[in-house]
């Protein structure tokens, strides 16, 4: 081998009592006593037996690709990055840093905290993480944990981090869009800034191993031995309970009454059910006649933010962690001894034909069910209660999780692939190829947004759009605000739509409802979001202020950070800014113009005056969301005849979310003429064509100046 892998501290010979003699090779400081405590725990992990085999393959494999296959909880996510850091350090930092991708931002932050602790290093220095609105890295960072979508954005834009020595794609079995796309780009050797002596490590569950082996051309595989603990035998229910939350709560309370040792992990399909379960359990456990402290109920989902670290804290009370698919493979919790599994997940699945999302409640995969069961293994094994019959998963569950690239809107991905000069995104290698209609719809949308030129390559505008960590239509609206002098307001709106899109639950009291109404704006939900943000800033970002109004404090803090990032990005690429003018009549119209410039694909018309909205791009009928400000107004408030919306979701009641009234004349002026011509036949299209013909009948000079004023500036070419 060209160089020997770096030896760990215990290989140098000192015992914990002599730790002052051993120096951490990453920062030159003596190891602490905690390092040795954690080192003993690391030795006990199943993956430790594969350490030297992994380092040997990483060093000598000529293809540069290594697969690591092991079950959840085997130590893959914490140990593989550290060994890669040793590999890079042994090479004298000459080949760049180690970047480890994670499918969820919370997992990236949590792992960075844990690994920095195990390596006896300071977070933000040698070990760091990069997630949306939070970059905890420095110039000396050797090991960086990163949200995979953020890394894909960096790779495609001009904000790449340079040359990487080792790229670790962790949790490949999650099948995120970014992870699958990065693998495709790497396999096609499309990442010029990653060429050379790059090492790629793909870490996965054994269930996906055959597919990955075939995709990468039979690279070497490091198999992690099974954990020694006994596996619990699942206990199945005879039937699926009509109320999942109630059934899960009763199962937790029964474990508490029995004083069964160990923490509890509860899997429910959605965040709404997680919240309901946590509220119910928090009330019920206080009244239990227990010999010990009442259990502490902790939610675990993407909106938890930094509060997620509470699930790792040592505490005297039993922990009851209530989660969903987020913790199928990520967030290993050694203290868990009891699992309660609903066997279901609620996912958003995008339909390109109608440009809308379906809320799909479906069985989890067999791979996920096994991962959940393994959470309760040990000596002796814990318990795994399945709130469904055994035949439920056998008959209905797929073997693996569904690839997200087949279920999400691909417009942002296609924009990034075009930035990498991939002319035909369909030719890019994927583990599972997306549907052709999904790629065609993405290309069509980008063409409507003027992001593509006549040859199908990125236009100048498209290059700028790809720089923003926003959906293409939202980035287009933000760029249009430069011409319409409403950049300040649009920056706030872009941040809020991305990080904190308003209220997510009904008010809990009349007082809370009154406080919410005070934040509503007469111009619609978009202006209401700006008003919420400004009131939040005026409150001093007070958490109690948010709680009193049913707002997510952590999400609003994220929106504040994102707004700052967007402002910095606009300044960096020298886009014009404007002074705040929110509330004026001119600003109201300018903001509508900017929104229509990006969201003309998402317009609907009230067909009968009762709130039944027909979407322009297809003949689906939808209603306003129950959280829409137009619905909370007192009768006889009439629904606005034409609206622009942010999301269309097909669920129990087809609804439009984040809605504002627009003038149809503005749509005719700002939308591309060929978009209006391509609309399906409807009364709405006829009305728009009549309006366009009426505008064309005006004087030639007036018509020419009007169209030039409203259309060309927003293209910014």
Name the band, by pLDDT with cuts 50, 70 and 90, for residue 585. very high
CA 324 to chain centre: 14
Between 189 and 78, whose confidence is greater? 78
Name the band, by pLDDT with cuts 50, 70 and 90, for residue 698. low
Burial of 476 (0-12, 13-18, 19+ CB in 10 A): buried
Mean pLDDT of 184-213: 80
Mean pLDDT of 566-594: 94
Q: How many whole angstroms separate alpha carbon 560 and alpha carbon 538?
A: 12
Q: How many whole angstroms separate alpha carbon 373 and alpha carbon 367?
A: 10
Mean pLDDT of 519-544: 94
Which phi and psi angles does 472 have, rounded to 5°? Answer: -55, -40
pLDDT at 717: 31
Name the band, by pLDDT with cuts 50, 70 and 90, for residue 645. very high
pLDDT in tens, 440-477: 999 999 999 999 999 888 999 999 999 999 999 999 99
Mean pLDDT of 48-75: 93
Between 487 and 354, whose confidence is greater? 487
Residue 128 DSSP SS3: strand
pLDDT in tens, 489-507: 999 999 999 987 777 777 8
Burial of 238 (0-12, 13-18, 19+ CB in 10 A): exposed
High-pLDDT (> 90) share of the chain, %: 61
Q: Is 171 left (phi over 0), alpha (psi -120 to 50) or beta?
A: left
Between 206 and 380, whose confidence is greater? 206
CA 98 to chain centre: 22
Are the beta carbons of 695 and 706 closer than 8 angstroms?
yes
pLDDT at 10: 46
64-68, 254-258, 473-477: least confidently modelled range: 254-258
pLDDT at 19: 44
pLDDT at 509: 86
Q: How many whole angstroms separate alpha carbon 462 and alpha carbon 215?
A: 31
Name the band, by pLDDT with cuts 50, 70 and 90, for residue 66. very high
Rg of the chain over Cα atoms, rounded to whole angstroms, equals 27
pLDDT in tens, 107-156: 999 999 999 999 999 999 999 999 988 899 998 899 999 999 999 988 87
High-pLDDT (> 70) share of the chain, %: 90
CA 671 to chain centre: 30
pLDDT in tens, 7-54: 544 443 455 554 456 899 999 999 999 999 999 999 999 999 999 999
Name the band, by pLDDT with cuts 50, 70 and 90, for residue 294. confident
Between 554 and 486, whose confidence is greater? 486
Are the beta carbons of 147 and 104 closer than 8 angstroms?
yes
Q: Where are the beta strands (DSSP E) in 301-365?
A: 319-323, 336-341, 344-351, 356-363
273-277, 419-423, 527-531, 590-594: least confidently modelled range: 419-423
Assess whether pLDDT exceeds 50 at residue 707.
no
pLDDT at 570: 95
Assess whether pLDDT exceeds 50 at residue 613.
yes
pLDDT at 626: 84
pLDDT at 158: 52
pLDDT at 22: 86
Residues recorded for the chain: 717
Mean pLDDT of 250-264: 89
Mean pLDDT of 316-324: 91
Tokens coding 465: 């759009």
- pTM (predicted TM-score): 0.88
Mean pLDDT of 554-572: 94
178-182, 290-294, 339-343, 608-612: least confidently modelled range: 290-294
Beta-bridge mates of residue 68: 203, 222
Q: How many whole angstroms separate alpha carbon 154 and alpha carbon 308?
A: 26
Burial of 165 (0-12, 13-18, 19+ CB in 10 A): buried
pLDDT at 635: 57
CA 14 to chain centre: 44
pLDDT at 396: 86
pLDDT at 701: 53
Q: How many whole angstroms separate alpha carbon 528 and alpha carbon 520?
A: 5
Assess whether pLDDT exceeds 60 at residue 714.
no
pLDDT at 372: 94
pLDDT in tens, 218-234: 999 999 998 766 788 99
pLDDT at 699: 46
Name the band, by pLDDT with cuts 50, 70 and 90, for residue 559. very high
Q: For all residues of the chain together, what is the average pLDDT?
A: 87
Q: How many whole angstroms separate alpha carbon 453 and alpha carbon 462?
A: 9
Report the DSSP pairing between strands 613-615 and 199-204: unpaired
Assess whether pLDDT exceeds 70 at residue 418.
yes
Mean pLDDT of 357-368: 93
Between 595 and 307, whose confidence is greater? 595
């Amino acid at each position: 081998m060209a160089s020997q892998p770096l030896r760990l501290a215990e290989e140098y010979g000192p015992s914990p009592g002599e730790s002052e003699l051993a120096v951490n090779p990453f920062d030159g400081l003596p190891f602490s006593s905690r390092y040795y405590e954690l080192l003993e725990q690391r030795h006990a992990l199943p993956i430790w037996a594969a350490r030297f085999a992994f380092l040997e393959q990483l060093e000598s494999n000529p293809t540069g690709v290594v697969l690591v296959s092991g079950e959840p909880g085997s130590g893959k996510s914490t140990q593989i990055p550290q060994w890669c850091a040793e590999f890079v350090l042994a090479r004298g930092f000459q080949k760049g840093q180690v970047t480890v991708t994670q499918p969820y931002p919370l997992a990236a932050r949590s792992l960075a905290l844990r690994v920095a602790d195990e390596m006896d290093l300071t977070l933000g220095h040698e070990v760091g993480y990069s997630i949306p609105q939070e970059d905890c890295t420095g110039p000396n960072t050797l090991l960086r944990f990163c949200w995979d979508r953020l890394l894909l954005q960096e790779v495609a834009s001009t904000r790449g981090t340079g040359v990487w020595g080792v790229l670790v794609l962790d949790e490949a079995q999650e099948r995120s869009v970014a992870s699958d796309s990065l693998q495709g780009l790497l396999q096609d050797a499309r990442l010029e800034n990653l060429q050379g002596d790059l090492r790629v490590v793909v870490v996965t569950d054994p269930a996906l191993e055959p597919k990955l082996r075939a995709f990468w051309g039979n690279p070497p595989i490091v198999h992690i031995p099974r954990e020694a603990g006994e596996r619990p035998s699942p206990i199945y229910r005879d039937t699926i309970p009509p109320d999942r939350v109630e059934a899960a709560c009763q199962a937790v309370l029964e474990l508490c009454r029995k004083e069964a040792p160990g923490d509890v992990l509860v899997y429910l399909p959605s965040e709404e059910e997680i919240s309901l379960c946590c509220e119910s359990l928090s009330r019920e456990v206080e009244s239990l006649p227990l010999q010990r402290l009442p259990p502490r109920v902790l939610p675990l989902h993407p909106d938890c933010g930094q509060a997620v670290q509470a699930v790792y804290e040592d505490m005297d009370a039993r922990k009851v962690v209530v989660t969903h698919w987020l913790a199928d493979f990520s967030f290993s919790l050694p203290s868990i001894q009891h699992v309660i599994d609903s066997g279901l997940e609620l996912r958003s699945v995008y339909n390109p034909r109608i440009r809308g999302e379906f809320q799909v409640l479906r069985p989890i995969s067999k791979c996920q069910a096994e991962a959940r069961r393994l959470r309760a293994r040990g000596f002796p094994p814990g318990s795994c209660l399945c709130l469904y019959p055994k035949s439920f998963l056998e008959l209905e569950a797929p073997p693996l999780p569904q690839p997200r690239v087949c279920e999400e809107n691909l417009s942002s991905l296609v924009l990034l692939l075009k930035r990498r000069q991939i002319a035909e995104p369909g030719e890019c290698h994927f583990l599972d190829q997306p549907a052709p209609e999904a790629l065609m719809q993405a290309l069509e949308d980008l063409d409507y947004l003027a992001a593509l030129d006549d040859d199908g390559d990125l236009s100048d505008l498209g290059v700028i759009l790809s720089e923003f960590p926003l959906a293409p239509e939202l980035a287009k609206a933000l760029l249009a605000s430069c011409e319409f002098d409403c950049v300040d307001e649009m920056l706030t709106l872009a941040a809020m739509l991305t990080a904190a899109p308003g209220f997510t639950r009904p008010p809990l009291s009349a007082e809370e409802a009154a406080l919410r109404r005070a934040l509503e704006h007469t111009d619609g939900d978009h202006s209401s979001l700006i008003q919420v943000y400004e009131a939040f800033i005026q409150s001093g970002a007070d958490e109690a202020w948010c709680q009193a109004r049913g707002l997510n404090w952590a999400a609003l803090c994220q929106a504040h950070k994102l707004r700052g990032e967007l402002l910095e990005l606009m300044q960096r690429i020298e886009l014009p800014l404007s002074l705040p003018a929110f509330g004026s009549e001119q600003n109201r119209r300018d903001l509508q113009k900017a929104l229509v410039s990006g969201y003309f694909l998402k317009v609907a018309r009230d067909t009968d005056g009762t709130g039944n909205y027909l979407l322009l791009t297809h003949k689906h009928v939808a209603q306003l969301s129950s959280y829409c400000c137009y619905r909370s107004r007192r009768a006889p408030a009439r629904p606005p005849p034409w609206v622009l919306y942010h999301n269309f979701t097909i669920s129990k009641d087809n609804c439009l979310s984040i809605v504002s009234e627009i003038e149809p004349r503005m749509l005719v002026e700002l939308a591309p003429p060929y978009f209006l011509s391509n609309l399906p036949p409807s009364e709405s299209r006829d009305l728009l064509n009549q309006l366009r013909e009426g505008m064309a009948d005006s004087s030639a000079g007036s018509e020419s100046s009007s169209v030039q004023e409203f259309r060309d500036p927003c293209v910014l070419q």
